[in-house]
Amino acid sequence: MAKLKLALYWASSCGGCEIAQLQIGDKLLKLAEVADIVFWPVAIDVKYKDVEAMPEKSIDVCLFNGAIRTSEQEHMAKMLREKSKVLIAYGACAYGGGIPGLGNMFNRELIFERAYVETPSTDNKEKVFPQTKYKVPEGELTIPEFYDTVKTLGQTVDVDYVVPGCPPEEKTTWLALEALIEGKLPPKGTVITHNAKAVCDDCPRKRDVKKVKKFYRTFEIIPEPEICLLEQGLLCAGIATRGGCGAPCPQANMPCTGCYGPVDGVIDQGAHFLSAVASVIDSNDPEEIQRIIAGIHDPVGTFYRYSLPDSLLRRAKIK
């Protein structure tokens, strides 16, 4: 039987998903028995022109990680969609925009001003910024266009499945690969995890329906090891986040940050999380409520850490 043809691509992301793909350990040997990697720029010497020359739908599955921040990434997303029978949004950045998606609080002009002028280590008095085209004696140099707005993979091309996580847990990655190997893929559009309910269903901590009068940052308190972190005033997104990861963060005394995306039926993870936080505030006094809310540092980074581009907000309006 012919081997499956597998492609992997890294767009706007940190590279953690590339490591996560290797964390399946000795299962890599099982994967190697049934699949050949035909495109993986981070690991094998293969060029874009090689993919362009491939027949349409000649790749059986592509694991595409990272958000769409540049014209090059958009081009690759469209090309890999054309060449792949199955396209999987792999990881939180491809799924919801991820950490790069927080750039949607700004625009290209503001980001370039910060990166190339304002940072303390930058000496750029002439305010020289990257240009998409520049002529040199040898010819014309080109680099990709940096977009104003970060998009998800699903906002760019049609996506068949999602494997969530920042990065996905080893068991989640293998759940998707095993389904592919065995020809038992779920219905199109499925977010592939071991649990479609909330992280709270995987978490052993006890919920006592306690109310809070102050929210803490993680370094400010040492939480009780058996009590729900949200009820101790730590902003844990487990109640608004799809399970399947096994809740490793809450079990290590760290709040869930929401990397597995929204639970089924929720279209805005941040709004869902915000609603849950509002329900534990112990006050009916508007002024006290405002004081408690003011203790939440970086609201956008807290409630939309991985999902701003995929939310109802999408981005900030820049005047």
| Structure confidence by residue, pLDDT tens digits, 302-314 | 999 999 999 999 9
**What phi, psi does 69 have (nearest 5°)?**
-115, -25
Tracing tokens 């992280």 back to the chain, one arrives at: 199
Does 262 have pLDDT greater than 90?
A: yes
The CATH architecture annotation of domain 4-99+152-181 reads 3-Layer(aba) Sandwich (3.40)
27-63 pLDDT tens trace: 999 999 999 999 999 999 999 999 999 999 999 999 9
Q: What span, in angstroms and rounded, lies between the C-alpha atoms of 165 and 172?
A: 9
Q: What span, in angstroms and rounded, lies between the C-alpha atoms of 273 and 241?
A: 8
Q: Please, how many CA atoms are within 13 Å of residue 47, restricted to the half-sphere of its CB?
A: 3
Query: What is the distance of C-alpha 14 from the center of its chain?
Result: 10
Strand partners, 237: none
Does 287 have pLDDT greater than 80?
A: yes
Does 248 have pLDDT greater than 80?
A: yes
- Which sequence spans correspond to the domains of the chain? 4-99+152-181, 103-145, 199-303
Cα–Cα nearest to 215, from 284, 286, 274, 271: 274
Token pair in block for residue 117: 């002028």
Stated pTM of the model: 0.94
Question: What's the Cα-to-Cα distance from 170 to each of 32, 99, 100, 135, rounded to whole Å?
Answer: 17, 21, 23, 46
Does 110 have pLDDT greater than 90?
A: yes
Does 107 have pLDDT greater than 90?
A: yes
Does 100 have pLDDT greater than 80?
A: yes
Largest CA distance in the chain: 71
Q: What span, in angstroms and rounded, lies between the C-alpha atoms of 264 and 275?
A: 16
Per-residue pLDDT at 8 = 96
